[in-house]
A = this chain, B = another copy of it.
C-alpha cells in the first residue's frame, strides 16, 4: 500500500504476510521473485551468519531471516536510499520477530582489501553469502531512472569483483548462492575458479518448454567438485498465471530449493521435502 505522507514509499507483504518491506514507490529496484528464489537456496536449519551482498531494500535477507529462525543476516548495500528503506523495514512492527537478527551495512560490495575490512566486511566472517547482482547488461533495456539503473546495469567483470569479495568474507566451507541470467554462467564459472567449488546450477524456466530466464547457483568455498546441473524449477504450468506448487512453496518461504533430495535421487523424483 502507498504511504500517505512524506516521500513516496510502499509497504509490501511477502511470504504470505510473514514479513513486510518498505520500498520506494515507482522508482529504484523493486524486490520480487528473484530475491525470494535466492532466499530459498538457504536450508531452513541454517543457523550461522549470512551476508546478503547488494541487498537493495533487503528482500532476500529478510526472507532468509523469516524462514530460518536461527540465521543471523547482514544486509550489505551501497545505495543510501535503499539502506534507508531497509532501516524503515526493520522498524516495522510486523517485522519485530525477525528484526533482532537483521543488521544493516552501507558499503560497496566491490571494495577491496583494507577498504573493505574498514567498511565493515571482515575476512572469514560469514557461513553463507547470497547475492543478486545487478545483472541486466547495459544494452538490454533503457532505464531512465538513475536509481533503477544503478541496481540493474552490470558492468564488465562484475562477477569477478563480487565473487572476490564473497570469497574473502566467507569462512572455509561457507556456501555461496547467486541468482543470475543464464548468459552470465560462463563469467560466473570463471570467477568461481580458485574460490568456490562444486557448483550446482538450478535452471529456472517460466514454463515447460521455454528457455531458462534465471539460474540459481550454489557453490562451496574451497570445494573442488565439478559442475552439477539440477533438474530445473518451472515457475508456471503450460497455461495460466498460477505458480507451480514447487515455485509457490519456494517463493513463499515454505520450502528450500537445492534440498538434499533434489538432484541426488535416481528414482523416483522427489523435489519437495515431505
Binding site for B on A (CB under 8 A): 181-186, 189-190, 193, 203, 205-212, 215, 226-232, 236, 238-239, 261-271
Query: Is there an interface contact between A182 and B226, defined as CB atoms closer than 8 Å?
Result: yes
**Majority-rule SS of A interface residues:** loop
Query: Is there an interface contact between B231 and A269, defined as CB atoms closer than 8 Å?
Result: no
Known interface pairs A186-B190, A189-B186, A203-B203. Does A209 touch B265 (Cβ–Cβ under 8 Å)? yes
| Bound complex: CA A89 to CA B79 (Å) | 67
- Nearest Cβ in chain B — how far from A205, in angstroms? 6
Query: Is there an interface contact between A231 and B215, defined as CB atoms closer than 8 Å?
Result: no
When all copies of this chain in the complex are counted, the total is 2
Report the nearest B residue to A137, measured CB to CB.
B226
A231 interface neighbour in B210, B226, B263, B271, Cβ under 8 Å? B210
Known interface pairs A190-B190, A232-B232. Does A185 touch B266 (Cβ–Cβ under 8 Å)? no
| Bound complex: CA A221 to CA B183 (Å) | 17
| Bound complex: CA A186 to CA B183 (Å) | 12
A269 interface neighbour in B207, B230, B266, Cβ under 8 Å? B207
A212 interface neighbour in B210, B215, B229, B265, Cβ under 8 Å? B229
- Nearest Cβ in chain B — how far from A139, in angstroms? 11
| Bound complex: CA A205 to CA B210 (Å) | 17
Known contacts A210-B265, A212-B229, A239-B268; 9 further A-B pairs (Cβ under 8 A): A183-B226, A184-B226, A186-B193, A207-B268, A207-B269, A208-B269, A209-B270, A210-B231, A210-B269
